[in-house]
Amino acid sequence: MAEPTKTATLTIDGKSYELPVHSPTAGPDVIDIRKLYAEAGVFTYDPGFTSTASCDSTITYIDGDKGELLHRGYPIGQLAEKSHYLEVCFVLLYGYLPKADELEKFERLLTRHTMIHEQMHNFFRGFRRDAHPMATMVGVVGAMSAFYHDSTDINDENQREIASHRLIAKMPTIAAMAYKYSIGQPFVYPRNDLSFAANFLHMCFAVPAEEYHVDPVLARAMDRIFTLHADHEQNASTSTVRLASSSGANPFACIAAGIACLWGPAHGGANQACLEMLREIGTVDRIPEFIARAKDKNDPFRLMGFGHRVYKNFDPRATVMKQSADEVLDLLGIHDNPTLQVAKELEKIALEDSYFIEKKLYPNVDFYSGIILDAMGFPTSMFTPIFAVARTVGWISQWKEQLADPQLKIGRPRQLYLGETARDYVEIENR
Ligand code: SDX
């Protein structure tokens, strides 16, 4: 980390403390409070970490006011238009745009890690067929540490690299197997002649009874969805992966923890919740009823796919996703899709409503993604697993960055204690 550029003065009970201030290459300055408790005997208090930087990072930057998202400095709009998911994986992992031979080597390497240990097929059969695929993925990914012992030593750079490639390459296979298992169809093995996205679609939708040809436009849309979900600073699931890794846990356990956190409807589970909400709304004339519920403080209902901790402007991913939704539905000949009509009208009404304007609530990445995935033939239960497949490279990149950080120490927050002070035990006969 660079040397502090200035200092902040904190005065408590008449005593002043000088705190170093670090200036980033982009974004707000940060006040370094690492010595605060030792010097002033106080904690800071920030439930939900709304004003807290948990680490320094060079991977992804978000400007919530501008609606800007950069991966290693490259704007998400340019990556979505000009790049493809495995190249974005390289950029996130290694920090630069690869030359043609580097990219070819990287893609060939990952392609040869897409199969999972044959014994792991038995894991799936331990689940009920109606298990949510996220439950299956948490279980199977966590169990990978029981199979890939030669890539669990986080202190070995080579093992970290192999674990990274295995996880990124095997997540689509595991997600597709979870889907196939849930619909009672046989597993489809990965194919080395297909791109990452085409391979995923093939593993999900091919059946042994006939040839399955992946539509290149759908493969492109799938690849773009993966790119748009690849990484996003220190979001809840990435912070979970970092915290799990800070104890020295193996990479498979850390990614399983990230999958578990992503599942929540306030986070990665929002894409499933959003499509289910759009279906519940059903028709444009019911939108006012749901807008009223979203604004009602006594109603826990929130507009799924709306709002964001960081974006107080459009989520740039939602903008690209909306364009992609139109393209995919048009390609599939799905015109006047009622769900898309409701989504577009809901977005229009919400963005004109003073509640949403004041609270700076805009559509996020989850608002349109479900419409595309639904049109491609995925059940809503597969939406968050697809998010997990895409985000694995982000989790892994952040995991590697943290392990290489000389400041790394186990994450152990403190608290504002409001419970009982010390009191003596009372025997039951005296209570
Ligand atoms: C993702 O962090 C990331 O980067 C996440 C992510 C990634 O790529 O990793 O971008 C992926 O998780 C996107 C977000 C998906 N979640 C949803 O779409 C669920 C619906 N959205 C909300 O639950 C909410 O907006 C959050 C969780 C996304 C953000 O919540 P915050 O930052 O804690 O904001 P908040 O709850 O404090 O809301 C601020 C105000 C509140 O009102 P007041 O208490 O100030 O009166 O806005 C209101 C909220 O009630 N509000 C909403 C709303 N979201 C916030 N009101 C109605 N509908 C909503 N969707």
Q: Which atom of ligand 1 is nearest to the CA of 62?
A: 4
**Mean pLDDT, rounded, for 218-241:** 97
Centre of ligand 1 from the C-alpha of residue 258, in Å:
19
Is there an atom of ligand 1 within 6 Å of 305 CB?
Answer: yes
**pLDDT for the residue 410:** 97
Q: What average pLDDT score do residues 116-120 get? A: 95
Query: What are the tens digits of pLDDT across the range 172-188?
Result: 999 999 999 999 999 99
Active site amino acids: 308, 366
* CA 267 to ligand 1 center in whole angstroms: 9
Q: What percent of the chain has pLDDT over 90?
A: 92
Cα(118) to centroid of ligand 1, in Å? 41
For residues 250 and 304, give the distance between their C-alpha atoms in angstroms, rounded to a whole number: 33
For helices 133-143 and 251-262, angle between their N-to-C axes, nearest 10 degrees? 170
- Is 394 a pocket residue for ligand 1 (Cβ < 6 Å)? no
> Which carries the bigger pLDDT value, residue 1 or residue 431?
431
Stated pTM of the model: 0.96
Cα-to-centroid distance, 353 and ligand 1 (Å) = 17
Is residue 391's pLDDT more than 80? yes
**Residue 317 Cα to ligand 1 middle (Å):** 16
Apex 280 CA angle, 274 and 284, nearest 5: 95
Nearest CA to ligand 1 atom 28: 308
Work out the pLDDT band at 201, boundaries 50, 70, 90.
very high
pLDDT of 1 higher than 70? no
| 339 close to ligand 1 (CB < 6 Angstrom) | no
Residue nearest to atom 54 of ligand 1 (CA): 307
- What is the pLDDT at residue 319? 92
Q: Is the CB of 142 under 6 A from ligand 1?
A: no
Q: Whose CA is nearest to atom 32 of ligand 1?
A: 309
What is the rounded average pLDDT of the residues 220-236? 97
- Closest ligand 1 atom to 294 CA: 57
Residue with CA closest to ligand 1 atom 55: 307
Q: Where does residue 274 rank: exposed (0-12), middle (13-18), buried (19+ CB within 10 A)?
A: buried
Kindly state if the Cβ of 303 falls inside 6 Å of ligand 1: yes
Answer yes or no: is the C-beta of 306 below 6 A from any ligand 1 atom: yes
31: Cα within 13 Å, side-chain hemisphere = 12
Q: Which residue has the tokens 């490639």?
A: 165
Nearest CA to ligand 1 atom 1: 267
**pLDDT tens digits, 274-304:** 999 999 999 999 999 999 999 999 999 999 9
**Please, what is the average pLDDT of the chain?**
95
Residue whose CA is at the smallest distance from ligand 1 atom 43: 359
Whether 307 is in the pocket of ligand 1, judged by its Cβ within 6 Å, is yes
Burial pattern 219-256, b for ≥16 Cβ within 10 A else e, equals: bbbbbbbbbbbbbbbbbbbbbbbbbbbbeebbbbbbbb
Mean pLDDT of 309-327: 91
Q: Report the distance separating Cα 90 and Cα 100, nearest Å.
A: 12
pLDDT tens profile 23-74? 999 999 999 999 999 999 999 999 999 999 999 999 999 999 999 999 999 9
Q: How far is the CA of 242 from the centre of ligand 1 (A)?
A: 22
Give the percent of the chain with pLDDT over 70: 100
Residue 120 clears pLDDT 80, i.e. is over it: yes
